[in-house]
Amino acid sequence: MHIEQIYTGCLAHGAYYIESNGEAAIVDPLRETKDYIEKAESRGAKIKYILETHFHADFVSGHLDLAHKTGAQIVYGPTASPEYDIHLATDGEELKLGNITLKVLHTPGHTMESSCFLLIDENGKEHSIFTGDTLFIGDVGRPDLAQKAANLTQEQLAATLYHSLRDKVMTLPHDTIVYPGHGAGSACGKHMSSQTWDTIGNQIATNYALRADMTEEEFVKEVTDGLLPPPQYFPKNAAMNKKDIVSIDNVLERGTVALDPDTFEAMANHEGAMVLDTRSEADFVAGHVPNSIFIGIDGSFAPWVGALVADLNQPLVLITPDGREEEVVTRLSRVGYDNTLGYLEGGLAAWKAAGKEVGTIEQVTAEQVAEGFEGRTWELLDVRKPGEFEAEHIDGANSLPLDYVNEKMDAIDPNKTYWAHCAGGYRSVIFNSILKARGFHNVVDIAGGFKALEGTALPKTDYVCPSTLK
């Protein structure tokens, strides 16, 4: 028996490769399928099952591509009703994989079709459980994503999850290994640990939502308290996962077309394509195609694209770090952005060589902020998340989280000058790029963000531990 966690940091997502006696199963695959196929081939195994714990909201699954390429059977738990052929498993159904058994445990609550897969090894031992978004390390799945589809309130879904956990999961042997669908950084839960696996026993001892004496009422209150609105792309991805979607191969073929500067410019100006610059924030600040949006590939790329680009069908043309064009297109496709039309061949150097206009972002140091703070004619904007701002901020700063920039654009006065910062510099450059693309040119970026500002004499509010904030 062989189990491998395939963790993707950008989405804080765990997929799993399970193998026994030449047969393999993939749990919750990402959009790209090549790695799963190659792994099975290298080990002389055939992929038999694609096990989906639920209809994912935070990414587009690769289940259909993987099934088409391998002949594997897609398995969902009870109540799932997609627009393609699946094996609809019953609660308690046992799937044979080589010398082991995968038992389906229907665990509704995060969504109504949510199911866990319990691995019973060659000796009949309940070895591990693949919990998807039902149980995380340190948390449980948020119960507010499937309200409309289930015709239930988040409180009703939370109550359902309470019983699923206690009747199906917490009853397992304490040494059963928990393999969750996500870790810290995912928006599918509130308090997820950076640890990516644990045991049932330790989770019962440490996870706030699994407290042994917890009542249903207490569970519902604690699990629903403090939930932030989900990213706007979540329901769109969930809908995509229920339908027959285009192959990743087609997306890559179209998205990795090399464009010369004139063609690139024409697509941006006349075809309605958004220019998405995925280089580093330093490179973008120094020079970029005018009206382009910065979201760097080396940050939390896919979630920020999903949060800030409202239309999944938005045509995109790319500026990428050299040689990373396919990576960028792939990572866009993971969250459903399939309409990439190509990239600028030769990058910004080619753009400059063609005599095209180049934009920049004015940037100041933390020391310059401190020196000019008392007599300032500009407004200090903190674009971090609300919880970060509430925990500690520069006294006199105003909060305008990047997460809500599209909804709060009317709060920006084009006649004012804004100096913006985040925690370290990544998000503030995204923020400033969006403002500049929309015609707000009086924006300045503070290099190094709050981390740099902390090292100055600027007055700060008293620190409040984020865990105490409601």
Give the CATH number for residue 222.
3.60.15.10
Segment 100-124 mean pLDDT:
97
The CA–CA distances, whole Å, from 174 to 177, 200, 250 equal: 8, 5, 45
Distances, alpha carbon 286 to alpha carbons 62, 172, 348, 429, in Å: 37, 56, 11, 11
Mean pLDDT of 343-365: 97
Mean pLDDT is lowest, of 214-218, 250-254, 438-442, 464-468, for 464-468
Round to the nearest angstrom and report the end-to-end CA distance of the chain. 45
Decide which of 217, 238, 259 is a domain's last residue.
238
Least confident stretch, 257-266, 335-344, 406-415: 406-415
Q: Is the domain of 206 the same as that of 273?
A: no
Are residues 111 and 209 both part of a single domain?
yes
Q: DSSP letter string over 403-447?
A: GGTTTTGGG--TTS-EEEE-SSSHHHHHHHHHHHHTT---EEEET
Same-domain check for residues 300 and 434 = no
What are the pLDDT digits (tens) for 56-104?
999 999 999 999 999 999 999 999 999 999 999 999 999 999 999 999 9
Least confident piece of the model among 32-46, 187-201, 242-256, 296-310: 187-201
User: 449-459 pLDDT, tens per residue?
Assistant: 999 999 999 99
Considering the domain architecture, whether residues 112 and 253 belong to the same structural domain is answered as no
pLDDT band at 186 (very low <50, low <70, confident <90, very high): confident
Length of the chain: 470
Alpha helices (runs of H) in 48-198, residue ranges in sequence order: 63-70, 147-150, 154-164
**In this model, does residue 465 exceed pLDDT 90?**
no
Band (332; pLDDT cuts 50, 70, 90): very high
Q: Nearest 5°: phi and psi at 133?
A: -105, 15
Q: If pLDDT is split at 50, 70 and 90, which confidence band does 271 have?
A: confident
Q: Are residues 228 and 282 in the same domain?
A: no
Same domain, 197 and 67: yes
Q: What is the DSSP letter of 165?
A: I
**What pLDDT, on the 0 to 100 scale, is given for residue 230?**
87
Collect contacts of 354-358 with beta carbons under 8 A, ≥24 apart: 354/260, 354/261, 354/262, 356/261, 356/265, 356/289, 357/290, 358/287, 358/288, 358/289, 358/290
46 band by pLDDT with thresholds 50, 70 and 90: very high
Return the closest-CA partner of residue 165 out of 222, 122, 95: 222
| Helix or strand holding residue 103 (H, E) | strand 100-106
Of the three residues 220, 238, 256, the one that is the final residue of a domain is: 238
Q: Residues 260, 312, 325, CA angle at the centre, nearest 5°?
A: 35
Token pair for 148: 């409309």
Do 47 and 189 fall into the same domain?
Answer: yes
Token pair in block for residue 335: 């969250």
Q: Are 336 and 434 in a shared domain?
A: no
- C-alpha torsion 411→417→422→424, nearest 10: 160
Give the CATH number for residue 419. 3.40.250.10
149, pLDDT greater than 90: no
Last residue of a domain, one of 300, 331, 353: 353
Give the pair of three-digit tokens for residue 6. Answer: 């395939």
Q: What percent of the chain has pLDDT over 70?
A: 98
Dihedral sign for Cα atoms in the order 458, 403, 292, 341: positive
CB atoms within 10 A of CB 123: 8
Residues 270 and 200 in one domain: no
Domain that holds residue 253: 247-353
Q: What is the largest CA-CA distance in the chain?
A: 74
pLDDT category at 188 given cuts 50, 70, 90 is confident
The answer to whether residue 204 scores a pLDDT higher than 70 is yes
Same domain, 451 and 381: yes
How many other β-carbons are positioned within 10 Å of the β-carbon of residue 438? Answer: 15
CA–CA distance, 252 with 337 (Å, rounded to integer): 11
Pick the closest to residue 65 from 330, 247, 261 (CA basis): 247
**pLDDT(150) > 90:** no
Strands 23-27 and 46-51: parallel
Closest residue by Cα to residue 292 from 347, 332, 238, 237: 347
The answer to whether 22 and 47 are in contact (CB under 8 A) is no
Q: Answer whether residue 469 shows pLDDT above 60.
A: no
| Other beta carbons within 10 Å of 449 | 23
**How many domains does the chain fold into?**
3
Q: What does the DSSP 8-state code read for residue 362?
A: E
pLDDT digits (tens, 9 = 90+) for 357-387: 999 999 999 999 999 999 999 999 999 999 9
Q: pLDDT-derived band of residue 145, with 50, 70 and 90 as boundaries?
A: confident
Tokens at residue 92, please? Answer: 């308690």
For residue 467, what pLDDT is reported? 61
Residues 375 and 295 in one domain: no
Are residues 316 and 405 both part of a single domain? Answer: no
Residue 299 φ/ψ region, left for φ over 0, alpha for ψ in the -120 to 50 degree band, beta for the rest? beta
CB of 186 closer than 8 Å to CB of 58: yes
> Mean pLDDT in the chain?
95
DSSP secondary structure code for residue 180 in this structure: E
Give the pLDDT band (50/70/90) at residue 36: very high
In one letter, which amino acid is 100?
I
